Structure 1
Amino acid sequence: MENPNKILVSICMITYNHERFLAEAINGVLDQKIDSGFELVVSDDCSTDYSYEIVDSFVSNHPLGNRIRYIRHKTNLGMSENFHWTLMQCKGEYIAYCEGDDYWTDTRKLQKQIDYLQSNKSLSFAFHRTTLYYQNSKISKADHNDRFFKKNKSLIEVDGFTLANGWQIGMQTLVFRKAYISNLNISDFNYFRDVHLLAHLLEYGNGACLNFFGSVYRIHNEGVHSRNSKFENLKTGYACFEELFKCYKKNYQKLILKNYLHELIQFQIKGNNYQEAVYYLKKLMSLEFSLKVLAYYLKELILSTARR
């Protein structure tokens, strides 16, 4: 067994007004059974609720309260900057992530992932399956990755093209090597999100999805993704991969970018927003010209206009 006082893994937890969920998130971390020491870095982005009292109670009363480093920002940094700032504070050889409204359910999840990464030095990250929990309806569903696990595979190695095939990666499932983010610069991007972190890690090696359920991704009205409209999420996804492709020039990013443009064009045609549809069609043709695709969408535009 390794030295339990050595910080092998840091858990990055950003939070903003998560008082309803924060205790469950922290308990899921502190319940971990791991052979080496860990720290929990909680970065509170100037919450206006009782998040401080919740974290302070854990620090003061929990047997592992000394493992918690709590930072309460005096001004609101915004999610992207707080995420990057917190990553840079982590001291462990590995970093795990769990936002303040999600939680872990497998007490050995960290150990399983670290064991796998230590045995597979060429990989940059490991993640696992997750449960989607819809807070309002109290309905739980498995993630969308079942279709990839044929014949009860225990794991699947993933690269950029694998992810472009529709994989769902819950950030609360991720463990990665800290050394690989030393040069991750948020100022390079206008829309820094989790996909930027994954794209950066893929520059150093593939990842692996371990086939076990170890966490819950909570979907609720206060969640950033949940409260945005479908169009807003499509626009943000497109903007993220547009700047990722400009930075890294990877073909899998181009493929995802094209997929977003197809969705945006179809969304705008369906909504009779023809000027916007043409705008995204021009973007698509600029990215990769195809006479067949151009003819298809021009026909769709003409038919849609005729049906009005």
Structure 2
Amino acid sequence: MQSSSYKLSVLLVTYNHEKYIRQALDALFKQVLDGPIELVIADDGSSDCTLEILKEYEGRDDRFVFNYLEFKGNLGITKNYQRSFAACSGEYVAVLEGDDYWCSPLKLARQVEFLDNHWECSLCSVNYLVYEEDRSAFTPRIPAGTSFKLVGARDLIADNLVGNFSTCMYRKSDLDNLPAALFDIRSYDWIVNICIARTSLIGFLEEPMSVYRLHSKGVWTQTSHVNQLKIQLEVIPAYDALTHHVFHYEFEVLASRLRHVIASSQVESAVDAVVQPVVRALPGFIDYMPNFVMRFLRAVMPDRFKRILLKALYRDVS
């Protein structure tokens, strides 16, 4: 393995994150870990004050050596990660996206310790909290624990437990071995981590130590749930080919599940559109409906339609 003066590189990926970047940097500087730590900043052409705020923080903590990647035009998410991974020189690489933050000061130290002691793992991830900004609500990805899980590529295809880049710390040598073709297709953390796990395992620490933020300006958040599923379904053939069909069965099972959920969601949306114009009149109408009619409707109405009707009633009738 190529020697490096850095045990750890932190890859900070930003794009118009002025509203959130201070919280990300404050949490980064609270990490309990000796330096020097390389901080690689991959900004993809922010038009707000993100870079100015980053400059304010430079020099505040002498453990961190700032390395700004040169901006050569907007690259998009996939290509920005390709050049960013290549630019990191540490033995390990931890990723932090500029609108997320770490909620435990021991996150990096525990991940470094884990990778030092688990040669079978090329990636250490952590449990995380999903923060819904519009509701000010936090939800853990899985119930908090104190131990760890070992996750393989097949597990990750069935359930993307890792969830987002900001939970991840990689061995740099394994990032260097990612297939070049990965960056020629639409690639996010999920397929990157599947490729990482082709020849090793992923360690997942059960304590929540990172926060994944859902907000109105997020690229993924702006996409409707059904469209998110369609995007995932569309890329499965390319991901299957990229992994040389080793996981073809798992991808096929996932594709079948996605098609079912998409179809069900579209049926519910169509029925919901029909139900809405009359839903406000239903409470008064039901009051005068004979009991035998109600019993008949309950007997013959499909469960899916019952759920849609009840959901509409509770949502729209005060």
**Bin of the TM-score, shorter chain as denominator length:** 0.7 to 0.9
Residue of structure 2 equivalent to 1:280: none
Cα shift at 1:124: 1.4
Residue of structure 2 equivalent to 1:174: 168
Cα shift at 1:257: 2.6
Residue of structure 2 equivalent to 1:105: 103
The 3 A distance-change label for structure 1 pair 210 and 227 is same
Listed one character per residue, the Cα deviations across residues 183-226 of structure 1 (whole Å, up to 9, x for unaligned) are: 32454442111112111101121112112111111110011111
Contact 1:193 1:240 in 2 (8 A): no
Structure 1 distance, partners of 2:256, 2:153, is: 14
Written as runs of structure 1 = structure 2, the 5 A alignment for 1:196-235 is 196-235=191-230
Structure 2 distance, partners of 1:176, 1:74, is: 26
Of 157, 164, 167, which aligns to 2:150? 157
Written as runs of structure 1 = structure 2, the 5 A alignment for 1:157-306 is 157-169=150-162, 170-188=164-182, 189-248=184-243, 249=245, 250=247, 251-271=249-269
Residue of structure 2 equivalent to 1:279: none
Amino acid at match of 2:42: S
**Equivalent pairs, count:** 265
Listed one character per residue, the Cα deviations across residues 96-141 of structure 1 (whole Å, up to 9, x for unaligned) are: 1110000012112111111111111011111111111122222222
Contact 1:81 1:186 in 2 (8 A): no
| Secondary structure of residue in 1 paired with 2:27 | helix
Structure 2 distance, partners of 1:121, 1:65, is: 27
Identity %: 24
The 3 A distance-change label for structure 1 pair 241 and 200 is same
The 3 A distance-change label for structure 1 pair 256 and 9 is farther
Structure 1 distance, partners of 2:175, 2:161, is: 22
Listed one character per residue, the Cα deviations across residues 225-272 of structure 1 (whole Å, up to 9, x for unaligned) are: 110011221121112322111221113333323322222333344456
| Secondary structure of residue in 2 paired with 1:95 | strand
Residue of structure 2 equivalent to 1:69: 67
Structure 2 distance, partners of 1:185, 1:243, is: 13
Of 120, 128, 142, which aligns to 1:122? 120
Contact 1:136 1:220 in 2 (8 A): yes
The 3 A distance-change label for structure 1 pair 63 and 247 is closer
Instruction: Could you tell me which runs of 5 or more consecutive residues in structure 2 were left unpaired when the two chains were aligned.
Output: 272-304, 306-318
Amino acid at match of 2:238: E
Residue of structure 1 equivalent to 2:42: 43
Structure 2 distance, partners of 1:175, 1:94, is: 7
| Secondary structure of residue in 2 paired with 1:34 | coil
Amino acid at match of 2:26: N
| Secondary structure of residue in 2 paired with 1:67 | strand
Cα shift at 1:83: 1.6
Amino acid at match of 2:118: N
Per mean C-alpha deviation after superposition, the further-off stretch among 129-138 and 64-73 is: 64-73
* Runs of 4 or more consecutive aligned structure 1 residues displaced over 6 Å after TM superposition: none
Cα shift at 1:73: 1.5
Cα shift at 1:163: 2.5
Structure 1 distance, partners of 2:153, 2:72, is: 38
Contact 1:134 1:140 in 2 (8 A): yes
TM-score normalised by the chain length of structure 2: 0.76
Of 65, 89, 106, which aligns to 1:91? 89
Per mean C-alpha deviation after superposition, the further-off stretch among 160-169 and 35-44 is: 160-169
Amino acid at match of 2:11: C
Contact 2:158 2:250 in 1 (8 A): no
Cα shift at 1:167: 4.4
Contact 1:16 1:47 in 2 (8 A): yes
Residue of structure 2 equivalent to 1:295: none
Structure 1 distance, partners of 2:115, 2:251, is: 25
Per mean C-alpha deviation after superposition, the further-off stretch among 72-81 and 216-225 is: 72-81
Structure 2 distance, partners of 1:161, 1:200, is: 11
| Secondary structure of residue in 1 paired with 2:209 | strand
Amino acid at match of 1:62: R
Cα shift at 1:56: 0.8
Cα shift at 1:74: 4.3
Per mean C-alpha deviation after superposition, the further-off stretch among 117-126 and 179-188 is: 179-188
